[in-house]
Amino acid sequence: MHFDSVTMEFCEAMRNASRQIPTGHPDYARVSAAARRTLFNVLGTAISAAGSDAVTIVRGVGGQAGGGQRAGGQGTGEGEATTADRGVIPGLAGTAGPYWAALATGTAAHLDDFDDTHLATVIHPGASILATVLASALVTPAVPGAGHASVSGDVFLGAFAAGCEAQLRIGNAISPAHYDHGWHITGTCGVFGAAVAESVLLGLGAGHMASALSLAAVMTVGQREAFGSMTKPLHAGKAAANGILAARLASAGLSGPADPLGPGGVLDVLAGGAEHVDRSALLEASAGGHDWELELNTFKTYPCGVVAHPAMDAAIEAFARIPGSPAITGVAVTCNPLVVELMGLVHPDSGLRARFSARHGIAAGLRYGRAGLAEFSDVVAADPEMTRLRDLISLDPDPGCSRDAAVLRVTLAAAEPVEVRVAHTRGSTVRPLTDADLLDKVDQLVTPVLGASAAARIRDAVNAPPGMSYVMDLLAAARPEPEPEPEPEPEAGPGPGAAVSGTARAGAASAVFADAPAPAPADPPAAADAAATTDAVLALALAPPALADEMLVADRATGTAKDALSLFNDAVTAGERARVPQAVEWAARRGVLPGGHGLTAFVRAAAALAGSAEIDAGTAVVCAAATALGENCAEAVAAGAAVSDLVAAGLPDARAQGWSAEVVAAVIGGCVAAGLMLGLPEPRLRAAIGIAATQAAGLRSAEGTDLGQLQAGKAAFNAVEAALLAQRGFTSSPQPLEGRRGLYALFAR
């Protein structure tokens, strides 16, 4: 069959996969089993983290914005989904609007870094796709007691499998350049997988699926600088929510370039140049003997970065041969260079950051003979003996050492050294977890939440024939009984908000981290040397003018901001009936976007660009973010505009690489403006900048088109949402701009 574009051929292949994989045909037995194992594993990690601080904060913001959780799935408050369009969060009773269900589920599934890994790309595919299918699959019908899912089990499983496969193939096409440059590939590729999964659930044809991918291209998310904070798992949730939005808007007729995955498209931008893209990977599996990338997905044995697992295997094996950790005088580890690159942190200050310290995982194995969730808690991270052991461990990178291998040598005070060699880590493609191993893992994850035998019930539901009751049976196994309906929360207003604490659990980061002083920055890349640091941005935003001439400059800036606001408001009025803002409001009525401040910012930014050629995207984003939170906002707009200019100066290479530097910088400026309107103190505003920076995206090719209105509106939405999350204590990188894998590094050549 002849296809008009690379994207159309890819979409038709994914649609065929979604139909064929659940059939039970022998030709698809291996990939069908891989899909079900991936689903079972990621349900376990999502349920385990459902009560975490990060998920509680997300749900809290959802409650204040509209479309938040409801015990019985009823009610239609501002921005709330209708009863025919509700999402669920595994491990929690009740329902939520599809947007917040996707955000919370994806965050929970990836929070503990205990999910899955496609080793060739380092993508964790299950989290964003689980979040997508669970946010969209449930329907509460008009007839009481006749609950059923909107899709059959084969459509549900097909969407899950195709969504995972799509993001893995796109990841192969841009690897290793994309990840090596500093992007969190789980987020950037996850949005495309989510768009494919949602397109399958909606029954869209290849043409509309291609449109969904073109819209998703301006909503990519994720930088590696956020690792070790709540923002890292948020990437999976945002990928799901953004992919759902892209598919829903495509179903309503919105579209972008016809061939987003083809030459000159988004893959060239994400990979840093066409020479780094392998488009053949879009249509075939990378490894011989496998027709599907999903067959190569692996499941983690420890809740941390997978590159440390071989050395942790060795440490746990060595534990039985050591008289006790106090006898250890030195530890040398030969490992793949990625261990140092990704997990070189020596002394983490929280359980969440410990997940990015290979030394911590190795020390846990040597001290306890195990490395589960309890060993990655805040308490264990601060344990003096763990600190001593981490100091003793040297990581010796060897390019000849494969990613799933390591050699560990332990020297002892009064005994011969102990050496352990691991050729292939447990859970790798060579030593995969058995079904019994996977059941044991999920059992340990879900029993504290759902009780004994819950893992077996979930496994049986996952492996059941995919009939019409499949989804409802799966949800019944993965959730507790409904809770009492919570009281709705008021919309947040100006003034600093207190952090929200969820159920205490091992591995949940304390919200106090958001208020901790910023550590010294890591060595920044040369491209960032002349760029404004996060500290400089905060000083500009928060420091009052001290001298008379500074006050005069500030007054002039405020006057300029007032003029910009007047022009902006007129443009919004002129453009509010345009195609993109109307499509966004249509999506919000279906729960795909929440109501409240974020939606207001989204619609107003898109409308302003539609309404006047005199408004630039940067002005639209900053003004929309500020005005969404109040009318008296000229000073916030002035500060946000100044920050945008400051950040844009640090992005000299962005446009040449295909990015919209104006929109990228405006996300930060809009976030600062929103943070000032909320009265965020310095630590919370720093966190907000980090949350926003990791979502900074926008394509140069979209400027001046409907897609440009969409990406500007989404930037304003993300800016406001980042400020609201930070207000409640959501954590992020302390150096999101100048960090080694921060904003400036990502957009540098």
The pLDDT tens digits for 213-272 are 999 999 999 999 999 999 999 999 999 999 999 999 999 999 999 999 999 999 999 999
Q: Is the pLDDT of residue 701 over 60?
A: yes
pLDDT at residue 727, as a whole number: 97
DSSP one-letter string for 325-342: GGGEEEEEEEE-HHHHHH
pLDDT tens-digit series, residues 339-378: 999 899 999 999 999 999 999 999 999 999 999 999 999 9
Mean pLDDT of the region 495-507:
32
- Give residue 369's identity as a one-letter amino acid code: G
Q: Are 17 and 167 in contact (CB under 8 A)?
A: no
Alpha helix segments (H runs only) across 175-230: 177-180, 185-202, 206-216
Q: Is the pLDDT of residue 148 over 60?
A: no
Q: Is the pLDDT of residue 503 over 60?
A: no
Q: Is the pLDDT of residue 578 over 50?
A: yes
**Exposed e or buried b per residue across 643-672, where buried means at least 16 C-beta atoms within 10 angstroms of its C-beta:** bbebbbebbbebeebbbbbbbbbbbbbbbb
Instruction: For strands 328-335 and 148-149, give the pairing.
Output: unpaired
Q: What pairs with residue 86 in β-bridges? A: 138
**199 or 145, greater pLDDT:** 199
Q: Are 111 and 507 in contact (CB under 8 A)?
A: yes
Q: Is the pLDDT of residue 68 over 80?
A: no
Q: How confident is the model at residue 23 (pLDDT cuts 50, 70, 90)?
A: confident
Q: How confident is the model at residue 487 (pLDDT cuts 50, 70, 90)?
A: low
- Give residue 712's identity as a one-letter amino acid code: A
- Give residue 251's identity as a one-letter amino acid code: S
pLDDT at residue 137, as a whole number: 83
pLDDT at residue 527, as a whole number: 42
**Residue 397: which H helix or E strand, with range?**
strand 393-397
Q: Is the pLDDT of residue 511 over 50?
A: no
Q: How many residues does the chain have?
A: 749
Q: Are 351 and 508 in contact (CB under 8 A)?
A: yes
User: Look-up: residue for tokens 């500030």?
Assistant: 554
pLDDT at residue 722, as a whole number: 98
**81 or 455, greater pLDDT:** 455
**Residue 406: which H helix or E strand, with range?**
strand 406-412
Mean pLDDT of the region 476-505:
51
Q: Is the pLDDT of residue 47 over 80?
A: yes
Q: Is the pLDDT of residue 483 over 90?
A: no
User: Look-up: residue for tokens 């030459």?
Assistant: 263
What phi and psi values does residue 705 have, to the nearest 5 degrees?
A: -120, 175
Tell me, rounded to whole angstroms, the distance of Cα 417 from its chain centroid.
42
Q: Is the pLDDT of residue 64 over 80?
A: no
Q: Mean pLDDT, the chain, as a whole number?
A: 88
Mean pLDDT of the region 569-573:
97
Mean pLDDT of the region 50-68:
84
Which has the minimum average pLDDT: 18-22, 25-29, 454-458, 682-686? 25-29
Q: What pairs with residue 87 in β-bridges? A: 96
Q: Are 133 and 156 in contact (CB under 8 A)?
A: yes
- How many Cα atoms occupy the beta-carbon half-sphere of 109 within 13 Å? 34
Is the CA virtual torsion 110, 104, 738, 349 positive or negative? negative
Alpha helix segments (H runs only) across 425-547: 435-450, 454-462, 470-478, 534-542
Q: How confident is the model at residue 25 (pLDDT cuts 50, 70, 90)?
A: confident
Mean pLDDT of the region 673-697:
96
d(CA 640, CA 265): 31
What phi and psi values does residue 416 have, to the nearest 5 degrees?
A: -70, 150
Mean pLDDT of the region 493-518:
34
DSSP annotation of 487: P
pLDDT at residue 523, as a whole number: 42
Q: Are 736 and 689 in contact (CB under 8 A)?
A: yes
Which has the minimum average pLDDT: 172-176, 492-496, 542-546, 655-659? 492-496
Q: Name the pTM for this structure.
A: 0.91
| Both structure tokens of 496 | 């600093």
pLDDT at residue 520, as a whole number: 39
DSSP one-letter string for 48-68: HTTTSHHHHHHHHHHHHHSS-
Mean pLDDT of the region 303-325:
96
Residues above pLDDT 70, as percent of the chain: 87
Instruction: For strands 328-335 and 406-412, give the pairing.
Output: antiparallel
**202 or 519, greater pLDDT:** 202
Q: Which residues have a Cβ under 8 Å from the Cβ of 228 and sit 6 or more positions away? A: 345, 348, 350, 352, 353, 355, 356, 733
| Both structure tokens of 385 | 């003996």
Q: Is the pLDDT of residue 403 over 60?
A: yes
Q: Is the pLDDT of residue 545 over 90?
A: no
What phi and psi values does residue 395 have, to the nearest 5 degrees?
A: -105, 115
d(CA 419, CA 409): 4
pLDDT at residue 555, as a whole number: 74
Q: Are 478 and 43 in contact (CB under 8 A)?
A: yes
Mean pLDDT of the region 149-160:
88
pLDDT at residue 63, as a whole number: 80
**283 or 496, greater pLDDT:** 283
pLDDT at residue 737, as a whole number: 96
519 CB neighbour count, 10 Å cutoff = 9
